[in-house]
Amino acid sequence: MKRIFLSLAAAFLLFSCEQGSSGEEFNTDQSSELQEQFEFADDQCGTMGVLDEKLASDPDLALNMQAVELHTSSVMKNGLSQRLVNGVIEIPVVFHIIYRTESENIPLSQIQEQIDALNEDFNLQNPGRSTIPAEFQSVESNIGIRFVLEDVIRVNSRNRQWRPDDSMKFTASGGSDVVNPQEFLNIWVVNNMPYRGGNILGYAQFPGGDWATDGVVLDHRFTGNTVYSTGRTATHEVGHWLNLRHIWGDGGCGASDFVADTPDADGPSRGCPTYPTVSCNTNDMTMNFMDYSNDPCLNMFTEGQKVRMFANFENGGFRATMAD
């Protein structure tokens, strides 16, 4: 968003993440049918609700997140250090597959497809890049993060569903404990997540939270290439895990995502919008991974978003140990 001066004290309250993910195999009409089939919640990602609950129960969380924002603001003002400007950061990924039935116990090939999709999206290799409008091509960024499959942990659970309360992240509650979160990205894949009258696709924890619950949670149907997904739900959620906001700043015109090269917008996109879609007197960047467009229509991060993500890896950043 062009307006990047919202107070840091309020910044951490603007997180949420609904990801209207959709595979190449079905169109907008089929997406509507899918929504009816799974009774999606209005917020298809539980991040904002989870964050609200944690802020209410943990008074230190707000201070931790404010510290992250102060550090991020400094890096965005002064620029990245030379060691990060042209480098590639390698992030090992641990998948926790928590399943009840064999269909939920997704195969290694599907997990690798998800890793491949992340590497495409964070390294200018995603298949839809050619559709990015000319006005946005100048700010398209090669983020330079390589994701590598470190381990797959499989847990057979009796649970038919999981609330987004982080219970899947603990062995004691039938899930799987986080593995070395200061070095690894942990992704939990579960069977079903009912929340607020519907089902969600996933949620992420932003920098500044408890290391014991750090990572991303995905519905197995939206992990890798499936009839419903091409893996962009994970790209969106990992963006949040790296401290990106939604493209419209979780508000109307004038709200901020704290990135200067993403145009202002009045809300999320749905389906596959036709360019140009105009709001707030500018063309919307509906193809940005941090919007809600369908999977095949999400195709880019910006240079400003790269700097915001990489602030995590600078000295003093929340995820600095991953860049050592």
Burial 195-224 (b: 16+ CB within 10 A, else e): beeebbbbbbbbbbbbeebbbbbbbbbbbb
Q: Strand pairing partners for 202? A: 45, 218
* Other CB atoms within 10 A of residue 273 CB: 15
Q: Which of these is catalytic: 53, 237, 303, 314?
A: 237
Cα dist. 175→5, 96, 120, 151, 170 in Å? Answer: 40, 8, 30, 16, 5
Residues ≥6 apart with Cβ < 8 Å to 33: none
Could you count the other beta carbons within 10 Å of the beta carbon of residue 281? 8
- Is-catalytic flag, 237? yes
Strands 198-199 vs 194-195: parallel, antiparallel or unpaired? antiparallel
User: Inter-axis angle of helices 47-57 and 59-78, to 10 degrees?
Assistant: 120
**H or E segment and range at residue 155:** strand 145-156
Q: Of the candidates 139, 109, 182, which has an alpha carbon nearest to the alpha carbon of residue 305?
A: 139
Nearest 5°: the CA angle 277, 278, 280 is 150
Using DSSP, state whether 154 is helix, strand or coil. Answer: strand
In this structure, what is the dihedral angle of CA atoms 286, 287, 291, 293, given to the nearest 10 degrees? 90
In whole angstroms, what is the distance from residue 122 CA to residue 130 CA? 16
Active site residues: 237
